[in-house]
Structure 1
Amino acid sequence: MKPQDKERLMLDYRIGVDVGGTNTDAVLMHGRTVICALKRPTTEDVGDGLASAIAALLDSSGIAPSEVVSVMVGTTQFINAFLQRRDLSEVAVVRVSLPRSDGVPPLLAWPDDARRAIGNHVYMAKGGALFTGESYGELDVAELQKIAVDIRAKKIKSVALTSNFAPIRPDVEQKAADIIRSYLTDDAEITLSSDVGGIGLIDRENAAVINASLRGFSRQVIQSMERAFASLGLCASLYISQNDGTLITTATASALPVLTCSAGPTNSIRGAAFLTGLDTALVVDVGGTTTDIGALIGGFPRETSHQNEIGGVRTNFRMPDVLSIPIGGGSLVERTADGVRVGPCSVGYRIREESLVFGGSTLTATDLAVRRYGLDIGDPQRVAHLDEPFVQQAMDRVRRDVEQAIDRMRTNGAALPVILVGGGSVLLPDSLEGASKVVRPPHAGVANAIGAAIAQVSGRTDRLYDFNKLGREAALAQAKLHAITEAVGAGADPKTVEIVDLVELPMTHMSTGAVRVRARAVGTLLGMSTDIDG
């Protein structure tokens, strides 16, 4: 074998990991081949579970740590922390917008428990810009200095800074941040709303505040991952999956953890596309507690076109269009006056202790599937006593609920292929109403980890352009170039970058020629073989 061929093979070894609330799934891949796949229980310290999973992969495959060039990790740890109101930092919320945009103060619509978890530290300051990019007020340096002194006195280490139309004029936030930062301690961190959200002020501000509340915790989680790498002797680059199915560096994830909030469902959708070769389908990911249904369009998850809520807080950062229903392998099954109920409660990660087939005393959806389909899971004899009519009724209920969810995710009446992934996909039959066909790919149980392993790098822009001044073609060219530059800056090989999404949204309520342009560019990670694209 030629030296360059050997080097090429080594470059293709990569590991994908998905750290869920119940299990940590991991795969070792070489080119398009899955060398090894496994599940391990998620641990309280993410690094411990990560180290255990990766060590097992390397041991099973015989691959040396030095042969792995990159590890891609998707995690729900950050979003779960916000949903559960735990491990959150106190946040100073600074809005630079006066004398405008004071009708709806920051945090007004937040749930009380979320507001309490981050404190209620709200500041308003002068300055801002119009949609045209023109300033309508200069920054008041003395005012911002006074705010910064108060933040420091309260010992707050995380700041969320927002201004009007910041995606068009990010320099307003940047200048305000420079003033505030000079009065804070060295370990204080500032989140700029222009880095996380779209045009709308309130929703973008909310996204910035959520991000600021998670920065301290995200740093701890990523440091734990990096310690796990060091303990295994890995010199591979570590990347984190973000909401659109592409990768960001650990430095970016530490600063912008909100970008990873929906990485789990997104990775499952991307993994399903890779495993089946389908680029248009519905993906049904059945976990231990919930079933997530997402749409696959052009090989990537369909993004939601409306505002989304995270833990009761409305935001406008990019998220996949995913519908979740409370049915999973650990769902509790109960007899009721109306027949049977499956979910919404679940034994979750305790399924191996509580489910009947594993020696427990709790009837779960997994027990029903073992009885109904004769699956080789646990001890099937422990569910042999369940009467067939009851089992059939319960499984029909599961199927109907999933079929209704599938119908809600379709944009028209046409039937689409349905890809079943996730460890709980054994609950569903091989035919579903609304599906042109049902596909169960190999390695379906770890599709999320595969999605992480094959992820690419992206760049995007979301700005208003004046078509009357620039002209349509020139404006679109600027948007494309900005997205491509962002992708290359994030680590994409320039030779592989292409525009995969370009949307024009005329601002018809404005008298000028303002048009909102969203562009997204995607490319293969620099140094990685291009034959991994899904």
Structure 2
Amino acid sequence: MADHLLLGIDTGGTYTDAVLYSETAGVVARAKALTTRHDLSVGISGAVEAVLAEAKAPVSTIGLVSLSTTLATNALVEGQGGRAGLVMIGFAPEDLKRDGLADALGNDPVLFLPGGHNVHGTETQLDMSALDEALPLLAETVSSFAVAGYFAVRNPAHEERVRARIREVSHLPVTCSHELSSKLGGPRRALTTLLNARLVSMIDRLIGSCEDYLKRRGIDVPMMVVRGDGALISAAEARLRPIETILSGPAASLVGARHLTGLDSAVVSDIGGTTTDVAVLDGGRPKLDADGAVVGGYRTMVEAVAMRTFGLGGDSEVRIDDRGLKAKIDLGPRRFMPLSLASALHPETVLPVLERQVRAPHAGRHDGRFAVRTGVPERLASGLLPQEQALYEKIGPTPLPLDGLLATTLQKATLDRLVARGLVHICGITPSDAMHVLGGQGQWDAAAARLGLELAARTKDGTGRPIAESPEDLARLIVDRLTRQSSDVILSACLADDGAGSIDPTVSASVHRALHRVPGIVQFRIALDRPLVGLGASAPVYYPAIAEMLGAESNIPTDAGVANAVGAVVGQVRTAVTVFVTMPDEGIFIVGGAGESARFIDENEAFALAKERAMTAALHAARANGADEPVVTLTEDIDAPEVEGRRKLMEARFTATASGRPRIAEAQ
């Protein structure tokens, strides 16, 4: 039988990556295409077609497709999503003031119904008359519903009855809070459920368009989606619980790093063009945000990787401060289009201008900088002020030198606003250009990079001397600065993880002495207790020096540039279910969670049912999520202190975790 190929797809902010992966041979082929924000399926099809062409493999050998995406995260950050109706069972209107729920709700409708349960799963009678009255009209004005019941994690019966009624009348998607989290905290669970309901139609469109494309290509196999904690769920489950895919991309990169390096413990740093993402791998698993993922300013109950993002990348703006006796170089947080890339795309425009500026006897304020439209649809340029519109009309799809575009300081501020709106790119020198001068990179136009750095090197510091003697000298200064700033952001993330976030590496004299090995009677040293894994297409040229500065072992896997897409296909399906046992009265034991509440007078019988329920539900959920042969483990946490010499059960929690590899279609 032919070896299965697994197709991994990652839709990032700039590029969509695709890999074909073999469980025996590793990465067989890799490809990139520009992400198409208006229709993600276009970028996906571009990347998949390219990877299939590179591998020269028939589609019949593909046995699994897995997708990691930033779509849900971007939607929540940008305040997008459908209109959802929120139904609160057993809550009062003042509960909306907690956990940012009212703010998140905005103008979406909310209904309050009598009902709900207490901590032991005992019900208050449910009254659905207000729902029956409102449903016919509500169903015409929302795209989905969110249902949150008081203590529904202990007894979901009321949520399930309300869901059945809404589906019967409206035929719209319904999310229940007990399906998303077993944690207590009703308002935050309601918030998470509301956000999930808003995302349902959006993720449904993405997965649907991806599935349609795959079917057109004859790739009719199971499709998985990466969850925010790095585990895989079936596309069908992702459609029901899209909120679980927030931070899917960063989670996939960590899973990919673990797989490509074989390391159980590591600091993982992923450098892109615009940002650096830093996270910690512990015990073979990504460290999760213990309090729930924060996205779009709201803290949810979704388990997701603890990832810190910094505005520093290979295409960061190089900022030269020449006001002091010695000039200072800083990078970011803005992204520039590298001169080497701009010239590769527009050689007839960029190089002649740079050559003219180099020949000029005096340095100009805007030497080595150009403006070019980003190419977004015209409708996104609506609402510009007259001076913004006038400047925007002068800028076209071909880079225009700033020395001919800007006549006044006010125009510079106007240009910055156009950049902030995402309408215009500034082209200028970046670390990528420095690497082209030093020979570390060569995919674009090194001649333009060299001219750009030659112009910048003529900048004079406070003593009247040029800040660098040659383009190579300036390139080394820029790369040294990227090494230090990268070390700072990695240290910041690790110190925060250690609970020492008050130490700021950028201003600490002790950290400076340690990183630069400053000699002295007192020696300062810094070291990471685990290897530094560098990811991203440019990781091989930057991370060896960064790891050395941090006193860490450097590990840059061969496929560092497509780690996200690899992580999408090598992950495991993993589901956890918690069942509780409480004692409301002496000798009475209530089992809650994963079904209706059950009452016992024998603690051992209650515990036995709780364990069986948790394990059965976890296995069922893992299979529903696409696991082939899931294995289940059980942990228990029993809170039963001695009170006046007698043991009193406060609460017992039994958590079953089922995990396994996803089902793979048979190769033809």
Partner of 2:75: 81
Q: 1:465 to 1:528 in 2, by over 3 A?
A: farther
Q: In 1, distance between residues paired with 2:330 and 2:533?
A: 25
Which protein is richer in strand relative to its size? 1
Secondary structure, aligned partner of 1:493: coil
Instruction: Please state how far the C-alpha of 1:90 moved relative to its aligned partner.
Output: 0.8
Secondary structure, aligned partner of 1:397: helix
Instruction: Please state how far the C-alpha of 1:401 moved relative to its aligned partner.
Output: 2.7
Secondary structure, aligned partner of 2:249: helix
Choose 361-370 or 254-263, whichever is displaced more.
Answer: 361-370
* Contact 1:24 1:49 survives alignment (8 Å): yes
Q: 1:369 to 1:407 in 2, by over 3 A?
A: farther
Instruction: Please state how far the C-alpha of 1:315 moved relative to its aligned partner.
Output: 1.0
Q: Indicate whether 1:287 and 2:424 are aligned.
A: no
Q: In 1, distance between residues paired with 2:272 and 2:562?
A: 11
Q: In 1, distance between residues paired with 2:430 and 2:652?
A: 52
2:29 to 30, 36, 47: 36
Residue correspondences, number: 508
TM superposition score normalised by structure 2: 0.70
Q: Indicate whether 1:266 and 2:264 are aligned.
A: no
Instruction: Report Cα offsets for 1:193-243 as digits up to 9, x if no partner.
Output: 112233221221111111111111111111211121123222222221111
1:345 to 314, 321, 334: 334
Given residue 238 of structure 2, which amino acid in structure 1 is its aligned partner? A
Instruction: Please state how far the C-alpha of 1:369 moved relative to its aligned partner.
Output: 4.1
1:458 to 571, 574, 579: 574
Choose 412-421 or 192-201, whichever is displaced more.
Answer: 412-421
Secondary structure, aligned partner of 1:259: helix
Given residue 314 of structure 1, which amino acid in structure 2 is its aligned partner? R
* Contact 1:20 1:264 survives alignment (8 Å): yes
Mapping of residues 198-209 of structure 1, within 5 Å: 198-209=183-194
Partner of 1:404: 492
Instruction: Please state how far the C-alpha of 1:516 moved relative to its aligned partner.
Output: 4.1
Instruction: Please state how far the C-alpha of 1:167 moved relative to its aligned partner.
Output: 2.2
Choose 312-321 or 467-476, whichever is displaced more.
Answer: 467-476
Q: 1:45 to 1:174 in 2, by over 3 A?
A: same
Instruction: Report Cα offsets for 1:87-115 as digits up to 9, x if no partner.
Output: x11111111014xx543216872596x55
Instruction: Please state how far the C-alpha of 1:517 moved relative to its aligned partner.
Output: 4.5
Instruction: Please state how far the C-alpha of 1:503 moved relative to its aligned partner.
Output: 6.9
Q: In 1, distance between residues paired with 2:345 and 2:143?
A: 48
Q: In 2, distance between residues paired with 1:277 and 1:482?
A: 31
Partner of 1:95: 88
2:529 to 400, 408, 415: 415
Q: 1:122 to 1:375 in 2, by over 3 A?
A: same
Partner of 1:532: none
RMSD of aligned residue pairs (Cα, Å)? 3.2
Q: 1:392 to 1:300 in 2, by over 3 A?
A: closer
Instruction: Please state how far the C-alpha of 1:450 moved relative to its aligned partner.
Output: 0.3
* Contact 1:40 1:49 survives alignment (8 Å): yes
Q: 1:150 to 1:503 in 2, by over 3 A?
A: farther
Secondary structure, aligned partner of 1:29: strand
Q: In 2, distance between residues paired with 1:424 and 1:462?
A: 43
Q: Structure 2: which 5+ residue stretches go unaligned?
A: 351-369, 371-426, 458-467, 501-526, 590-602
Instruction: Please state how far the C-alpha of 1:473 moved relative to its aligned partner.
Output: 6.6
Instruction: Please state how far the C-alpha of 1:65 moved relative to its aligned partner.
Output: 0.8
Q: 1:64 to 1:497 in 2, by over 3 A?
A: same
Partner of 1:140: 127
Q: Structure 1: which 5+ residue stretches go unaligned?
A: 1-5, 530-534
Secondary structure, aligned partner of 1:522: strand
Q: In 2, distance between residues paired with 1:291 and 1:42?
A: 19
Q: In 1, distance between residues paired with 2:336 and 2:653?
A: 46
Q: Indicate whether 1:66 and 2:64 are aligned.
A: no
Instruction: Please state how far the C-alpha of 1:375 moved relative to its aligned partner.
Output: 2.5
* Contact 2:222 2:665 survives alignment (8 Å): no
Q: Indicate whether 1:105 and 2:193 are aligned.
A: no
2:447 to 381, 391, 410: 381
* Contact 1:131 1:464 survives alignment (8 Å): no
1:513 to 650, 659, 667: 650
Q: Indicate whether 1:252 and 2:256 are aligned.
A: no
Q: Indicate whether 1:193 and 2:177 are aligned.
A: yes
Q: Indicate whether 1:225 and 2:210 are aligned.
A: yes
Q: Indicate whether 1:276 and 2:269 are aligned.
A: no
Instruction: Please state how far the C-alpha of 1:383 moved relative to its aligned partner.
Output: 2.8
Given residue 146 of structure 2, which amino acid in structure 1 is its aligned partner? A
Instruction: Please state how far the C-alpha of 1:498 moved relative to its aligned partner.
Output: 4.2
Partner of 2:481: 394
Sequence identity percentage: 25
Instruction: Please state how far the C-alpha of 1:257 moved relative to its aligned partner.
Output: 1.0
Q: 1:115 to 1:466 in 2, by over 3 A?
A: closer
* Contact 2:147 2:175 survives alignment (8 Å): yes
Q: In 1, distance between residues paired with 2:437 and 2:579?
A: 55
Q: In 1, distance between residues paired with 2:432 and 2:268?
A: 20
1:446 to 532, 553, 562: 562
Given residue 127 of structure 2, which amino acid in structure 1 is its aligned partner? D
Given residue 182 of structure 1, which amino acid in structure 2 is its aligned partner? E
Instruction: Please state how far the C-alpha of 1:300 moved relative to its aligned partner.
Output: 2.0
Given residue 478 of structure 2, which amino acid in structure 1 is its aligned partner? V
Partner of 2:14: 22
1:234 to 180, 204, 219: 219
Secondary structure, aligned partner of 1:183: helix
1:48 to 23, 42, 45: 42
1:13 to 5, 14, 30: 5
Instruction: Please state how far the C-alpha of 1:74 moved relative to its aligned partner.
Output: 0.7
Instruction: Please state how far the C-alpha of 1:286 moved relative to its aligned partner.
Output: 1.5
Secondary structure, aligned partner of 1:24: strand
Instruction: Please state how far the C-alpha of 1:259 moved relative to its aligned partner.
Output: 0.9
